[in-house]
Amino acid sequence: MSNANECLQINPKDAFAYQNAASAYQQLGRYDEAKAVAEQAIAQNSDSMGIHQTLYEIAFIRGDAAAIQAQIAWAAGKQMDLFMLFPQGLADYAVGRVHRARETLTRATALAEQNGLKSVATSVRAGMSVEEAALGNLEEARRRAEEALASSTDRDTKTAAAVALALAGDTTRPEKLIEELAKDYPLDTLLNNLALPTARAIVELERKNPARALALLEPAKAYGVSDFGPIYVRGAAYLQAQDGASAAAEFQKILDHRGVNPLDVAYALARLDLGRALALQGQTAKARTAYQDFLAFWKDADPDIPILKQAKEEYAKLK
């Protein structure tokens, strides 16, 4: 934060400094300050796609439909229109509007391919596979992952596919992808300390080995709440180990730091899993409240989402 602000003092027209400062404020949950920096960038004609995505995310956090539409309108008719489709699709996934998310991101994929941006199209497909798997749409997740891998076998595609396929119940294919990534990118710090441990941990959870999953996630602790993935999987491991208190603590970390990644579906699912963790501890009243929070957050969700159906069944059984 201090470095970004110092950069702005040195050069008040530096677009990167504005983006860094706005993003830092947002991740700290200081949304008014993040919005003020973004608006200052626009006033200085130093805005960027990142600035407008930050404004979109702040509007999404606040449920400000008019502000969301303002950012969509800004991108309309510009080359940036393609890149504003990404947060729209992710936001729909985050609140359970899966069919709309698919339509939006499929359109983004088509536009990317029309503009010769094959890697962008592949990245969207890979990202969709993870979203679908997290929501329990396992066949769709497998299909999207295979489509992405057929298009590219780069680092990010393999990483997303490994996570999606593991979440979808596969263990053999993700292990092979993980081994290839570890061999090909031995010096990639974030890959080896965050992404691959998370993917490996998911594989172990599929094998009902939560202790091993927790051990694999140890390197990710050094990165705090910068990535919801390892935190969420750690919470899932504690749930599988029947340690409700530890699981609740992990899911609460996500809920307390929404600004880090407000479009991450893990934020919504953390509400549900907090309810599960509280129920495991016998705190029925608090568990019911957590389930109610999740169902309220997903009030406009598609009714056919597997994880939503499961949540409603669990909630009905809470006495």
Instruction: Tell me if domain 1-76 and domain 77-317 are identical in fold.
Output: yes
Question: How far is CA 186 from each of CA 60, 157, 183, 192, 214, rounded to the nearest angstrom?
Answer: 37, 17, 6, 7, 22
Map 250-298 to HEC letters.
HHHHHHCCHHHCCCCHHHHHHHHHHHHHHHHCCCHHHHHHHHHHHHHHC
Mean pLDDT over all residues of the chain? 95
Hey, where are the domains in the chain? 1-76, 77-317
Q: Taking 70 as the threshold, does the pLDDT of residue 3 lie above it?
A: no
Per-residue pLDDT tens digits for 214-235: 999 999 999 999 999 999 999 9
- pLDDT value at position 2? 67
Round to whole Å and give the CA distance between 283 and 304: 29
pLDDT score of 1 more than 80:
no
pLDDT digits (tens, 9 = 90+) for 83-106: 999 999 999 999 999 999 999 999
Q: CATH for 1-76? A: 1.25.40.10
Is the domain spanning 77-317 CATH 1.25.40.10? The answer is yes
Label residue 77 by pLDDT band (50, 70, 90): confident
Q: pLDDT digits over 128-181, tens only?
A: 999 999 999 999 999 999 999 999 999 999 999 999 999 999 999 999 999 999
| Residue 79 CA from chain centroid, whole number | 25
